[in-house]
Structure 1
Amino acid sequence: MTSPVTAPEQSRHIATQLPGPKSRELAARQAGAVPAGVATTMPVFASRAGGGIIEDVDGNRLIDLGSGIAVTSVGASHPKVVEAVQEQVADFTHTCFMITPYEGYVAVAEKLGEKAPISGETRTALFNSGSEAVENAVKVARAYTRKQAVVAFDHAYHGRTTLTMSLTAKSMPYKHNFGPFAPEVYRVAGSYPLRDGLDGAAAAKKAISAMEKQIGADNLAAVIMEPLQGEGGFIVPAEGFLQAIVEWCTANDVLFIADEVQSGFARTGAWFASELEGIEPDLMCTAKGIAGGMPLSAVTGRAEVMDAVHPGGLGGTYGGNPVATAASLAVFEAIEEDDLLQEAQMIERVIREHFEQNADERIAEVRGRGGMMAIEFVDPASGEPDAALTGKLAAAVRAAGVVLLTCGTYGNVVRFLPPLTIGEELLREGLAEVTTALQSV
Structure 2
Amino acid sequence: MSRRPNLLEDNISITLLKLTLPMTLGLISLMCFHLADSYFVGQLGVKELAALSFSYPITFTFISISIGLGIGVSAYVAQALGRGTDNRENMHISAILLNLIIVSVASLIGYLISRPVFALLGADEAMIDLIMEYITLWYLAAPFYTMIMTINSLQRAEGNTKFPATIMAMSSIINILLDPLFIFGVGAFEGMGLQGAALASLLAWGISWLFCLIYVNKRENWFQGLPSLNQFRHHSAKILNIGLPAAAANMLTPIAGSILIAITAQYGEAAVAAFGVGNRIESLAILMILALSMTLPPFISQNFGAKKCDRVIEAISVTRKFSMAWQLLIYLLLLALAQPLATLFSDAPEVHNNVAMVLSILPLGYGAMGIVILSASSLNALSRPKQALTVSIIRLIIITVPFAWIGGYLDNFRGLLIGVTTGYFITALIAIYIVNKATKDKTEEQLKAA
TM over 0.5: no
Q: Which has the higher strand share?
A: 1
Q: TM-score, normalising length from structure 2?
A: 0.32
Q: Which has the higher helix share?
A: 2
Q: TM-score, normalising length from structure 1?
A: 0.33
